[in-house]
Amino acid sequence: MALPVAHTAVALGLTRSRDPLAWVFLGFLSILPDFDFILVWGLGLPIDIYHRTFSHSLFFCVAMALLWMVIRPARLKAISPLLVAMVLLSHSFLDMLCTADVLDHGVVFFWPLSDYTMGWPTLVPLYLFFGSSPFSFSGAIRFTFLEMLLAGPLWLSARSLRIGLLWCARLFRSAEIAPASQQE
Ligand SMILES: [Zn+2]
């Protein structure tokens, strides 16, 4: 499983903001889906029903983006609802890349429409090289150290994705404007 350092690195790569408060908020947002552990560890609810289900779903990303449209404070105007959705989506996708056993703890991305679990063990060998589990003090330290090494490449990948998407959006917009101006 990915820990906060990796999720935060991706979230910070998705923004152009230089506001430290926005960075803190995005760091929090990037790990918000894992607060489902409160239900599992705090309330003792079954992990297979409450972890990596609703809080890691497309539905949750869209719902949070819509909520952000309503409650966004002026101080965090730099954080758009689209960015909120992208940061939450990035959490789910990063978790999918760190899924060793898709049947046991894959991401239920299409909750509540489907209980199909998704995940690919792309980054798993890397994590296994540093330890078998983050659920111990030494395991958490080792995995966090690995994620500090991964933070740069993850940040750069997210930044490249943001620049690529912006470039596509501009291309699409100019293609829409061009025929209209040609008619004049
Ligand atoms: Zn997660």
Residue 88 Cα to ligand 1 midpoint, Å, equals 10
Calculate the CA 26 to chain-centre distance.
10
pLDDT in tens, 72-119: 999 999 999 999 999 999 999 999 999 988 888 899 999 999 999 999
Residue 182's pLDDT band (boundaries 50, 70, 90)?
A: low
Identity of residue 81: P
Contact 81, 69 (CB under 8 A): yes
Residue 47 Cα to ligand 1 midpoint, Å, equals 12
Residue 49 Cα to ligand 1 midpoint, Å, equals 14
**Residue 121: is the preceding peptide bond cis (ω within 30°)?**
no
pLDDT in tens, 119-158: 999 999 988 888 878 888 898 999 999 999 999 999 999 9
Is pLDDT of 173 > 90? Answer: no
Residue 116 Cα to ligand 1 midpoint, Å, equals 16
What is the DSSP code (8-state) at residue 109?
T
Residue 172 Cα to ligand 1 midpoint, Å, equals 33
Please tell me the predicted confidence (pLDDT) of residue 103.
85
Residue 117 Cα to ligand 1 midpoint, Å, equals 13
Nearest Cα neighbor of 29 from 71, 82, 91, 74 is: 91
* Cα gap 29→176, rounded to integer Å: 34
Copy the structure tokens of residue 82. 């689209």
Rounded to a whole number, what is the largest CA-CA distance in the chain?
68
Residue 32 Cα to ligand 1 midpoint, Å, equals 8
* Segments making up each domain of the chain, as ranges: 4-183
Residue 165 Cα to ligand 1 midpoint, Å, equals 24
Calculate the CA 176 to chain-centre distance.
31
